[in-house]
Structure 1
């Protein structure tokens, strides 16, 4: 990465030196300053067509406007976040901003969507930093926003035409004392989160796309298993193989990939991914591609590294699948969200009791007040909403989420698991170090649940056949 070249010299009077330009390395010679603004071809303004998501975003804005009459609302996209010194993490706009604008992977940092009350509703304006004029020092000297460094920024008319919303330069935005700001005002933050609980047709299509890219990434991993096994940090190779697919066919990963092999699979959010992938072990891969619209998948498959399950691995795996199937069976419109989890827990309590792992009966373990002994082996929940965030709608009220009623258009995961830590003396030695999770992405329709990720094999037999086919 080239160093930021900034100037302590005063540019020509026609140029405005941005405050962020501070000399640390190379001053610009006067000849450069005298000529840098000259000799550039005209850039004709093109008016791109309205984006597919624009009408859906407009409907969402209308719902927000109706919910907050007379209030000035501010939804920031967010700013770049520092990784180290003068390098930043890749920018990703706030999910509420993306949901209400339709501006996704190409959104500009520091942009702000503003709802200005007008008596009949709101005038909505999208403020962002337009491309720098080539007569400004910002054009060549500011490594954060200058075109020479990061490429051209979009023009106001073009974004207005693509998104179907009025635009203005960021310099024209003035915050007000009574503004309701997302993530600073509870009612607004909660409303825009709950607005995403049900998905429209555009969102469902994007979810399907993200799931397809993710499925292709799992295929890639299986094909690369011989190379992965040979490397002392094979988990890193799993992560890298999936990253290549997520970046080539999408935007990024929706969350840090979990590539947990052997006993690492018992750590629910193992993202260090620095261990080996050894024949005879299971590897739990929890990964999701985020596409350019910023919608993400969230899928987990647990694979036998050798290609076939041992008898004890198969027993644990098929029990987890049984729990997932039970959860799927109860997911219907009108059912409480928490009942999906309860159905999975009934299976896991019954099976772990049958195996002699519990100090009580399955019925006692399932007692709401005095039970829970089986939760030692699955401490997480079975489901969460999914969409722009991997844990979507996280600021929704409990009565709308965990205690809420399932409705058509909701997209959520079903992901039971069993995890027997390597040093857990409550289970026989043959179970220790085995971690299994199966996670699918579910769309609820009027007729019941649809498994959007069903193309990825789920049963133990199907997984073994899948691996044999891809590995030749």
Structure 2
């Protein structure tokens, strides 16, 4: 048990836990809003002449390309009679997932008729470059810009942010063109995180301008791509200026061909500097009128640090999707498989549950491969007797999860693996319990170091002082001496965790010494790594590499483990991996 107030590892998050954390987040956000005067004084005191804060305005525009391509689509009618009455999806025997059955999600079983507009309707719903309630009622509730987040919340975020600046200030956020994989083939588009946080807009090539006129007045303007039927025929619908106003709640919107309007806004501003985020956008023509440019990134990240009620709900869902997929993957993995098969299965599982993409390239490291902390080659065979360290998560409507589990490839821990695993799990649980308002990631990390040193001394992996018997109690002074010597770092070379949110390594500008507040979310990921070629360590421990990672929300009271659906107890893991159910 992590705590008497925390849920056991096989339970779902209860409504009581959800109510507690949402209440805590609301109090934190209210407190944050009341301190806007202090924030404003911070921003007003920024020296507009500090050259160290200047950033390069290498602003760019997407190089236009034209191409013609022809496609032929082969439509093959499939026989669905055998699956119409079933609530499960069955895979063909030639598929590597052939023995895997997945219960359909509730949202997938809803009638298609509720998702379609009437054929007799005079006109279809307005389509933009992303789902809306009108076009995708099976995904978005009325009033939602993205799943789980209403339009009013985006408007409140922008108002709260620009209100903290001095009168006359201008903040400009850019989202650049989509990067190309080759020639005219784009990568799958992922929106700039800060732009997405303040708008919900999910198209490339956008500009958001926030201008503070006075304490009670500010304006918001967007510049977006023009709706061009010839391009939309190939690339899909675009938002266009008129829809930007109605769908995203800004005051004004124009096309990117009308940037003279932005130049006028800058020229007329009484501010001597402009706050912008730095992105690469070649050939974008903006006249900053010789004003100093300041990096707004640290302010954007600070505003995202404490999560809102809707964000916490979405983070819970992301954690649950990834956690359940870890359980599926444990059951799927067998000796002789390739690491990339486990990776592919996990990705399939999270997307089958509604996630849009992976949070990051997954680490699927069998045996000694886990000595590379960010191992992503994922191309070795999984061997019986080895452990598989898997660090993976998913992105659910822009909200990430980040989980690590370590489990035996053959479904059974050896005695040595079990002893070391339970040591890491003990550190994981105790550090989760320490995730409380008033602590910092740094203080939790120091605590994790002390715990890991204690276990390494107890197991004989770290040498004790000469003349000390193995049965002698480990003293606080002995642990302090080892902290100072730093020899533990070979076995535990990373921090206990990081901030988590819309990015996996979220709000990177915020130091780990920041005081934790209700509504913040961090990861807890202790680990012990022993190279199989380390002959300074007893042979029984060599090649054992373990990390256990959870996502934890800070509340007014006990912490909440958002990834509790991912099994981590030894008996749970072994039961899942050896059960036919």
What is the TM-score when the length of structure 2 is the normalising length? 0.67
Match of 1:54 among 120, 138, 151: 151
Q: Does 1:215 align with 2:323?
A: yes
C-alpha contact 1:263 1:435 (8 A) present in aligned 2:
yes
Q: Aligned partners of 2:219 and 2:212: how far apart in 1?
A: 6
Q: Does 1:270 align with 2:375?
A: yes
Unaligned runs of 5+ in 1: 1-17, 27-40, 140-145
Partner in structure 2 of residue 148 of structure 1: 233
Deviation at 1:236, TM superposition (A): 0.6
Shift in CA distance, 23/216, structure 1 to aligned 2, threshold 3 Å: closer
Q: How does 1:442-453 map to 2 (within 5 A)?
A: 442-453=552-563
Q: Aligned partners of 2:184 and 2:209: how far apart in 1?
A: 30
- Secondary structure of the residue aligned to 1:195 is helix
Partner in structure 2 of residue 353 of structure 1: 457
- Secondary structure of the residue aligned to 1:445 is coil
Partner in structure 2 of residue 256 of structure 1: 361
Match of 1:86 among 172, 180, 184: 184
C-alpha contact 1:206 1:291 (8 A) present in aligned 2:
yes
C-alpha contact 1:364 1:370 (8 A) present in aligned 2:
no
Match of 1:169 among 246, 249, 255: 255
Moved more, 345-354 or 46-55: 46-55
Q: How does 1:60-459 map to 2 (within 5 A)?
A: 60-69=157-166, 70-103=168-201, 107-120=202-215, 121-132=217-228, 134=229, 139=230, 146-166=231-251, 167-173=253-259, 174=262, 176=266, 178-183=273-278, 188-226=296-334, 229-231=335-337, 234-248=338-352, 249-292=354-397, 294-359=398-463, 363-364=477-478, 366-367=480-481, 370-396=484-510, 398=511, 402-459=512-569
Larger RCO (alpha carbons 8 Å, 6+ apart): 2
C-alpha contact 1:365 1:371 (8 A) present in aligned 2:
no
Deviation at 1:338, TM superposition (A): 1.4
The number of aligned residues is 417
C-alpha contact 2:416 2:540 (8 A) present in aligned 1:
yes
C-alpha contact 1:321 1:438 (8 A) present in aligned 2:
yes
Q: CA-atom RMSD, angstroms?
A: 2.6
Shift in CA distance, 23/295, structure 1 to aligned 2, threshold 3 Å: closer
Q: Aligned partners of 2:240 and 2:464: how far apart in 1?
A: 66
C-alpha contact 1:365 1:373 (8 A) present in aligned 2:
no
Partner in structure 2 of residue 20 of structure 1: 64
Deviation at 1:43, TM superposition (A): 6.2
Shift in CA distance, 209/287, structure 1 to aligned 2, threshold 3 Å: same
- Secondary structure of the residue aligned to 1:303 is strand
Partner in structure 2 of residue 37 of structure 1: none
C-alpha contact 1:79 1:91 (8 A) present in aligned 2:
no
What is the TM-score when the length of structure 1 is the normalising length? 0.82
Partner in structure 2 of residue 5 of structure 1: none
Unaligned runs of 5+ in 2: 1-61, 71-121, 135-141, 268-272, 280-292, 466-473
C-alpha contact 2:449 2:483 (8 A) present in aligned 1:
no
Q: Aligned partners of 1:367 and 1:339: how far apart in 2?
A: 18
C-alpha contact 2:330 2:573 (8 A) present in aligned 1:
no
Partner in structure 2 of residue 15 of structure 1: none
Deviation at 1:272, TM superposition (A): 0.8
C-alpha contact 2:427 2:526 (8 A) present in aligned 1:
yes
- Secondary structure of the residue aligned to 2:221 is strand
- Secondary structure of the residue aligned to 2:245 is helix
